[in-house]
Structure 1
Amino acid sequence: MDEQGRHLVWQVTETAGFEAAWLNLDGMILSATGRTVGQLPEPYWLTYTLQTDDRAATTRLQVTATTANAQYELDLRRDGGTWNVDGQPRADLAGALDCDLACSPVTNTMPIIRHGLQHGPGEHRFLMAFVQVPTLRVVASQQSYTHLGLTQDAARVRYASGTFVSDLTVDRDGLVIDYPTMAHRIPAGTTVTAEQRIGGPGSPRPSSSS
């Protein structure tokens, strides 16, 4: 991945909203800064920063969420096998390596790249520190990821949690392209030339002849 990182945008259908994030991936070290806006389960704004170690395991997730009537803050940290939520130890999260921010396609990446599921076969089960949105309540969540197959430029990976199952499409970096029922990445627009822009919004108006 480019050293300057990638800027990715998703339409998040589950929240009737959007997410935009700057991501840097150096080997399996992932850092991300993102913003989301949603209308479900209630209108909210959210900002976050995420950092992992060299195994793509979460070291810190900081989140601020704002609704019409409240603001929530979360500082989630993992040091070795110990998780802390706003400075308080959480023994129920012991054994988890990843956070999972609800309705954010970014946090699906870590378990996928740790086990190379964007490249080849594998099936793995995980305990996650799942962050509910917009309240930012953290709960333990059992999940699994299974490699299903490759296409020319992408891979299909099955996500499951409880009775919920969805077949994700991810790129060769393990970043979500399509998450049925939840989110779909919006492709960057093509470059518009000056000639194509003539007469369009923001362009000089043609001079009128007398």
Structure 2
Amino acid sequence: MDPVYFWRRTDIEGFERLELLVSPLGIEARSTVICLEAGGFRLDHSWQLDSGWRAQAVTVERWNENGHGRLLLERAGSGWRVDGALRPDLDGAEEPDLSVTPFCNTFPIRRTPETPGASLSLDTAFIDGPALTVARSSQRYDRHGARTLRYVDLGLSCGFEADLTVDGEGLVISYEHLFERVMPA
């Protein structure tokens, strides 16, 4: 059976269920988020990652009071396509960062050196889930210990920082101010 993860929002009412399928060829993830933020919405996101946990594509579908919307972000060399169109403003952005889930933090966390005091800075293709928009942003991960890091936003939410606790795979257990993993009863 493939692993399933659940996260609860700690800042507002919201919940996520994510199913992870890992194979030697790559990783697939499928998730549903239900949230009361932004008037309430359901958001499904599915990811295709290579075996090194680098995102190749993410599809985001949102249902809210305005109806249904869909966004596809695909790696295109050192850049990205959004709904099939090249986005030169995203050239060099290393990974997608989807606002409504801690799952995408796993990609840079797995690449942050494990030495306490080490850091990893990167540009991201930030996806605002409720709005279904994509913009370039920057962030940094500071390693405090084997399973503890500090997230520092250097871009769109400059000044936001949060302590993260992760499991042995780099998946978030707790994300200060926003998310905590929960176990089913």
TM-score by length of 2: 0.90
RMSD between superposed Cα atoms in Å:
1.7
Determine the structure 1 residue equivalent to 2:150: 158
> Which amino acid counterpart does residue 149 of structure 2 have in structure 1?
V
Higher mean Cα deviation, 174-183 or 7-16? Answer: 7-16
Shift in CA distance, 174/141, structure 1 to aligned 2, threshold 3 Å: same
| 1:80 positional shift | 1.8
Determine the structure 2 residue equivalent to 1:36: 33
Structure with greater strand percent = 2
Q: Any idea what the Cα deviations from partners look like across 1:48-72, whole Å, max 9, x if unmatched?
A: 1001123322110001001112321
1:71 to 48, 56, 68: 68
Q: Any idea what the Cα deviations from partners look like across 1:139-186, whole Å, max 9, x if unmatched?
A: 101001111113xxxx11110102000010000100000001111000
Aligned length: 180
The question of whether the paired residues in 2 share the 8 Å contact of 1:14 and 1:103 is answered with no
- Name stretches of at least 5 consecutive residues in structure 1 with no aligned partner: 190-210
| 1:103 positional shift | 2.3
What is the aligned-residue identity percentage?
Answer: 32
Q: Any idea what the Cα deviations from partners look like across 1:90-142, whole Å, max 9, x if unmatched?
A: 11111112111102011110011133x5x443201110011102111001010
> Which amino acid counterpart does residue 147 of structure 1 have in structure 2?
R
Determine the structure 2 residue equivalent to 1:83: 80
Determine the structure 2 residue equivalent to 1:181: 177
Determine the structure 1 residue equivalent to 2:92: 95
1:7 to 4, 21, 38: 4
Within a 5 Å distance, the mapping from 1:134-153 to structure 2 comes to 134-150=130-146
Larger radius of gyration: 1
TM-score by length of 1: 0.80
CA distance in 2 between partners of 1:87 and 1:135 (Å): 18
